[in-house]
């Protein structure tokens, strides 16, 4: 076992991808000389050179578009977008090009592109740097959407994604970069199509992804002290959604709470809730509950930011309401 932080796991995955395949290169704002906004590419410019570690202008539409063009030309670009909020500037390229070209060309063209971006709140960087918009991207056919929450997934999902023939978007919760975990040496390839049960249980399913996984696990520990056995399901992949694993869990526990750091209205949690109602309605002993962020731009002050986000105590309260 190798102990490393989430940040080090991402860096390790990037380095291995670059070493494995000369077609792989990294591009984005501050990825080279600065070493990455989150230090995930520190030292790479010296190690791999400016042809493969490319600093870009502050223009997401330009460099995401360039990544799509490079992928069409036979390269394997990894594009880093500093934060999910800024990725909205590249939505035209993502929706109208990366996600559609294989379909529109009748399968003649693939876009083997990986786009990484930081998502999520909890770091006091205010509303323009703190939102969780991965559910918006999960709405788009033609791309894969990953939300690694563990050290193993942070490294392994990237290595699998860079070998995919079609676009893969990886949302790394920025609050996790300093989290420590263990990576098993000689780890087999990480699957990017299945959810994972992180804690088995029988009384309620806590369904979540990304940074909220650790809040759900903390809530499950608190619930256990009250005699409530919560199962924690890490979705890991938002598109294609592994609905089979979700329904298996709900049919066992008969109750579900979905935790999503996005806003409640139009959230990915709403999609999960709808699919549970369609696929396991008669297995439910209570309506599906959701714990989401408050319907406000994420505040800057720490106490207000904490109050706006899903927290373990909010999850515990939601479970107690279901059990009543």
Q: Is 303 a catalytic residue?
A: no
CB 213 within 8 A of CB 179: no
DSSP element (H, E) containing 114: strand 114-119
- CB-based contact 110:166 (threshold 8 Å): yes
Catalytic residue, chosen from 8, 29, 80, 129, is: 129
Strands 180-183 and 204-208: unpaired
Say how far apart CA 240 and CA 144 lie, in whole Å: 6
> Prior bond to 5 cis, omega within 30?
no
| CA dist., res. 25 & res. 55, Å (int) | 11
- Which of the residues 29, 60, 80, 305 is marked catalytic? 60
Is 172 assigned a catalytic role? no
271/273 Cα distance (integer angstroms): 5
DSSP class of residue 198? E
Interatomic CA distance for residues 236 and 197, integer angstroms: 10
Distance (Å, rounded) from C-alpha 200 to C-alpha 221? 12
**Closest C-alpha to 18, from 67, 64, 82, 77:** 77
Positions marked active-site: 60, 129
């Amino acid at each position: 076992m190798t102990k490393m932080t989430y940040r080090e796991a991402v860096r390790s995955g990037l380095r291995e991808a670059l070493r494995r395949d000369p077609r792989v290169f990294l591009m984005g704002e501050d990825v080279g000389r600065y070493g990455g906004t989150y230090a995930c590419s520190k030292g790479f410019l010296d190690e791999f050179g400016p042809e493969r570690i490319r600093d870009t202008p502050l223009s997401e539409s330009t460099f995401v578009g360039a990544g799509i063009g490079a992928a069409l030309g036979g390269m394997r670009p990894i594009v880093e977008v500093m934060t999910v909020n800024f990725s909205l500037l590249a939505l035209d390229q993502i929706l109208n090009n990366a996600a559609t070209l294989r379909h529109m060309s009748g399968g003649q063209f693939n876009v083997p592109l990986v786009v990484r971006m930081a998502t999520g709140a909890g770091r006091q960087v205010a509303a323009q740097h703190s939102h969780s918009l991965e559910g918006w991207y999960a709405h788009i056919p033609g791309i894969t959407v990953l939300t690694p929450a563990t050290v193993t997934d942070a490294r392994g999902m990237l290595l699998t994604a860079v070998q995919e023939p079609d676009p893969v978007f990886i949302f790394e919760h920025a609050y996790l970069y300093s989290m420590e975990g263990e990576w098993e040496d000689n780890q087999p390839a990480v699957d990017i199509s299945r959810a994972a049960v992180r804690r088995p249980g029988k009384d309620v399913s806590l369904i979540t992804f990304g940074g909220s996984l650790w809040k759900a696990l903390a809530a499950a520990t608190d619930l256990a002290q009250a005699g409530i056995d919560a199962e924690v399901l890490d979705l890991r992949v938002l598109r294609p959604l592994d609905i089979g694993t979700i329904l298996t869990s709900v049919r066992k526990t008969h109750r579900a709470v979905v935790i999503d750091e996005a806003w409640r209205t139009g959230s990915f949690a709403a999609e999960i809730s709808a699919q549970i109602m369609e696929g396991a309605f008669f297995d439910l002993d209570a309506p599906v509950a959701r714990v989401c962020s408050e319907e406000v731009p994420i505040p800057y002050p720490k106490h207000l930011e904490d109050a706006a986000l899903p927290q373990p105590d909010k999850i515990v309260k939601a479970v107690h309401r279901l059990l009543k």
